[in-house]
């Protein structure tokens, strides 16, 4: 399959990376790290809303998952607290169901369970959460304004996570077309892996820069063969994960459900595993400084590990491929 980003997608990615670089989400994380829970930057919400990024997938905008993917990776690279993919997927889901909300742009999506939902990033900042579930072989969507939350404690310090408490019930519901839940699951899986890829790409850049600066025995450690091999392995992992995820994003837009789900699981399994491998190598090359609280490495590593755990683990996606 021949694939490449269009000029418009390259420009979209460059513009979003530039905005994130100017606003530096990691500095905001650092400022709140020891004093208060991380919240979504209001400036990021205003930027994404006025730019039309949150409505990217809706019929009015006509965007694609490949368009969204370049944004997701950019926000993962920057360790942004704005869950841009989740918000865009929720906007598409609400539009597809014909549900209009007056709650503002911050609406998350979750899957219903017995008593709590699946994890939602930055749920504490969400005005509403759309809970999708299946019952009697039919699919439904319920929108909960200011939903009761069960706060989660995770490794991730760049985002908060919570589940929706479903004990209050989901009486008001809208029936969805069959297959909608599978499409949402596949989309969230692919974009969660794109977020991990973005964090891994930043760790690669940080590691290459550090290896060129840190000296031992009078020479940069980047000149040592073992360090070169680590960095080369990281490059291969990042680029191959990016290629597999681009193919999966294209599948979300163009392929039928069975092929789409296999492409999503294959890419998510590979990319999440690759991102974790990159994080491990980054820690090895940085040595002792990489273990310190003051260094940003652990913030990105933590983010990758939580991305790896949610919306399907590597083991779960591999099992789906052989099931």
Tens-digit pLDDT profile for residues 148-176: 999 999 999 999 999 999 987 777 889 99
Helix (H) / strand (E) element for 135: namely strand 128-135
Residue 162 is predicted with a pLDDT of: 97
Nearest by Cα to 150 from 169, 166, 164? 164
Contact in structure between 144 and 128 (CB atoms under 8 Å):
yes
| Residue 311 exposure: Cα atoms within 13 Å on the Cβ side | 35
Print burial letters for 264-284: b (CB count within 10 Å at least 16), e (below 16): bbbbbbbbbbbbbbbbbbbbe
β-strands 174-176, 149-152 pairing: unpaired
pLDDT < 70 stretches in the chain: 1-2
Neighbour tally for 172: CB within 10 Å: 10
- Using CA atoms, how far apart are residues 25 and 231, in angstroms rounded to an integer? 26
Label residue 19 exposed, middle or buried (CB < 10 Å: 0-12, 13-18, 19+).
Answer: middle
Q: Give the DSSP letter of residue 296.
A: T
pLDDT value at position 2? 59
The pLDDT assigned to 214 comes to 83
Q: Both tokens of residue 14? A: 């460059």
CATH no. for 180-322: 1.20.140.10
pTM (2 d.p.)? 0.95
**pLDDT attached to residue 161:** 98
User: Could you state, in order of their start, the residue ranges of all structural domains in the chain?
Assistant: 180-322
């Amino acid at each position: 399959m021949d694939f490449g980003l269009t000029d418009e997608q390259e420009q979209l990615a460059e513009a979003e990376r530039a905005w994130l670089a100017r606003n530096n989400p990691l500095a905001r994380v650092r400022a709140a790290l020891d004093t208060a829970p991380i919240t979504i930057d209001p400036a990021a919400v205003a930027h994404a809303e006025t730019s039309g990024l949150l409505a990217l997938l809706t019929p009015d905008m006509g965007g694609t998952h490949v368009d969204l993917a370049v944004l997701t990776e950019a926000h993962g690279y920057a360790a942004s607290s704005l869950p841009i993919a989740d918000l865009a997927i929720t906007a598409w889901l609400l539009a597809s169901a014909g549900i209009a909300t007056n709650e503002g742009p911050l609406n998350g999506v979750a899957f219903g369970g017995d008593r709590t939902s699946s994890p939602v990033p930055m749920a504490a900042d969400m005005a509403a959460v759309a809970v999708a579930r299946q019952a009697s072989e039919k699919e439904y969507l319920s929108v909960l304004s200011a939903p009761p939350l069960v706060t989660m404690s995770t490794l991730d310090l760049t985002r908060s996570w919570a589940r929706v408490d479903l004990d209050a019930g989901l009486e008001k519901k809208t029936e969805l077309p069959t297959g909608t839940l599978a499409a949402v699951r596949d989309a969230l899986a692919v974009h969660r892996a794109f977020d991990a890829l973005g964090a891994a790409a930043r760790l690669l850049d940080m590691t290459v820069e550090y290896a060129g600066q840190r000296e031992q025995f009078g020479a940069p450690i980047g000149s040592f063969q073992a360090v070169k091999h680590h960095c080369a392995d990281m490059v291969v992992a990042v680029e191959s994960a990016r290629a597999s995820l681009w193919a999966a994003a294209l599948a979300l837009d163009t392929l039928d459900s069975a092929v789409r789900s296999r492409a999503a699981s294959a890419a998510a399994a590979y990319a999440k595993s690759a991102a974790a491998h990159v994080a491990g190598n980054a820690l090895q090359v940085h040595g002792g400084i990489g273990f310190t609280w003051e260094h940003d490495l652990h913030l990105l590593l933590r983010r990758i590990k939580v991305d790896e755990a949610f919306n399907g683990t590597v083991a779960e996606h591999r099992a789906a491929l052989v099931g």
